[in-house]
């Protein structure tokens, strides 16, 4: 069973239909950027992108996702711009902590986190 920093999870608890996955991704994206919200910025209209949190050999399509604005996803201060380790040091939040925040905010999660 794969782990993210000591948190065990299966990529997906049950086989999701494309519709169910799109609905879930829509709920996550509707939260707005999780980093912006932690920094106290308005997040409702940020053009949210979904970042797949990958570990081990889990395929991207089955990886849990976190919502990020362009800047915090692909920009110079984002996870792809800074790299994972520097991103987590910069914002003092791990991807695993961000996944747990998403789970708390939407109340449901198809991923066993």
pLDDT tens digits for range 5-35: 444 444 444 566 888 888 889 999 999 999 9
More confident site: 77 or 3: 77
CA distances from 86 to 21, 33, 73, 75 (A): 30, 18, 13, 13
Q: For residue 47, what pLDDT is reported?
A: 79
pLDDT(111) > 60? no
Nearest to 31 by CA among 75, 81, 65: 65
Domains of the chain: 28-106 (3.30.40.190)
Region 33-54: mean pLDDT is 86
Compute the distance between CA of residue 102 and CA of residue 97 in angstroms, rounded to an integer.
9
Does this model's pTM top 0.75? My answer is yes
pLDDT tens digits for range 55-98: 778 888 788 899 999 999 999 999 999 999 999 999 999 999 99
pLDDT(4) > 60? no
């Amino acid at each position: 069973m794969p782990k993210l920093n000591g948190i065990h999870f299966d990529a997906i608890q049950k086989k999701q239909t494309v519709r169910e996955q799109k609905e879930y991704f829509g709920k996550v994206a509707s939260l707005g950027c999780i980093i912006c919200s932690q920094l106290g910025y308005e997040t409702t209209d940020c053009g949210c992108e979904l970042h797949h949190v990958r570990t081990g050999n889990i395929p991207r399509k089955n990886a849990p996702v976190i919502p990020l604005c362009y800047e915090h996803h692909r920009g110079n201060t984002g996870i792809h711009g800074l790299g994972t380790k520097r991103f987590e040091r910069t914002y003092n939040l791990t991807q695993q902590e961000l996944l747990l925040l998403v789970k708390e905010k939407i109340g449901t999660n198809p991923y066993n986190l």
